[in-house]
Structure 1
């Protein structure tokens, strides 16, 4: 392939995907820190509650949904969870957490963070067309990386003399991280 063709392919794919690369990078950074805070949504109200709960065994999806309605929550229930001492219900716009022993808890009402929640949805989407588009995007990123590596002409900073060492280090680092901490 001619040097100008490689440069043109690298440039045009880079221009075409610049928005998606920035969106994925930004939302990926936010998702890395979702245990500390929830970038997709922000709290608009927190309300203390106290309810009488049945035994752990009697808490099921039907109970969780009806409790939500009794608490005045009218949006769709996503899931519920009972662990050792907490009962949690997640709705589209509310989260409920109740202590199983005392019945005390809170309702957290939130709204989606504009733009950020939509960008993060890109990472989570499972629709067929988006999966195929993501595959094409992934192949294009590989193409951008390879064309970027080979488009520097001969000299002391080209891929053959210096770039392969950095590329190898870039491959080894995440593999070490996976093996050591994964």
Structure 2
């Protein structure tokens, strides 16, 4: 393949794959930025209302079973119960559109009803989903991003080419993630 054909193929692949994935690139970028700041705000959902509750806790910790917690869930909410997580003295109950925190010693708790943030909430789900079809699509997207990156390195010619200028910018771009991975944990 001659140089002109190779350059044309690189440009066409770079452009067309970029066009095809532009929506996903924007969605992943915006939701990724939002997820980076999830300690400042929840990018997936917002609280609609909060209620406190008090339940009778069995004196024997072994009686705080999954069945017991299902009954507690029925008492405190009409939302569909999804499951629980126990950590030390805190029990977390998960519902379709709510979650509750319960102190396993005192029986005091709080339930938070939530709604998904329109658009941004759905975009953040793309980062977390384990749907097998989405995983395959995301893997193909990852390969496409590699193609875009590689073909992009060979589009520019002359003083702005990868060989003259781009390699050191690419090297700097690789150094920063490694600094954060290994030095600034």
TM-score (norm 2): 0.88
Matched, 1:175 2:178: yes
Cα offset, 1:129, TM superposition: 2.0
Deviating 4+ runs (over 6 angstroms): none
Preserved CA contact (<8 Å) 1:56 1:82? no
- How far apart are residue 162 of structure 1 and its match? 1.5
Q: Which residue of 1 aligns with 2:11?
A: 7
C-alpha separation in 2, matches of 1:76 and 1:103: 18
Once residues 56 and 36 of structure 1 are traced to their aligned partners in structure 2, the CA distance between those partners, rounded to angstroms, is: 35
Q: Give the 5 Å matches for 1:123-142.
A: 123-142=127-146
Q: TM-score, normalised by structure 1?
A: 0.89
SS at match of 1:57: helix
Aligned length: 180
Is the counterpart of residue 70 in structure 1 residue 75 in structure 2? yes
Q: Alpha-carbon deviations, 1:99-130, whole Å to 9, x = none?
A: 23332221111112222222122112222222
Q: Could you give the per-residue CA deviations for residues 121-146 of structure 1, whole angstroms, max 9, x where no partner exists?
A: 21122222222211111111011111
TM-superposed CA distance for 1:87, in Å, is: 1.9
Alignment match, 2:116:
112
CA contact (8 A) 1:93 1:109 kept: yes
For structure 1, the residue ranges without an aligned partner over 5 or more in a row are: none
Q: Secondary structure at the match of 2:130?
A: coil
CA RMSD, aligned part only? 1.7
Cα pair 1:47 1:106 within 8 Å, conserved: yes
Shift of 1:36: 3.4
Distance 2:85 2:143 in 1: 39
Deviation, structure 1 residue 45: 0.7
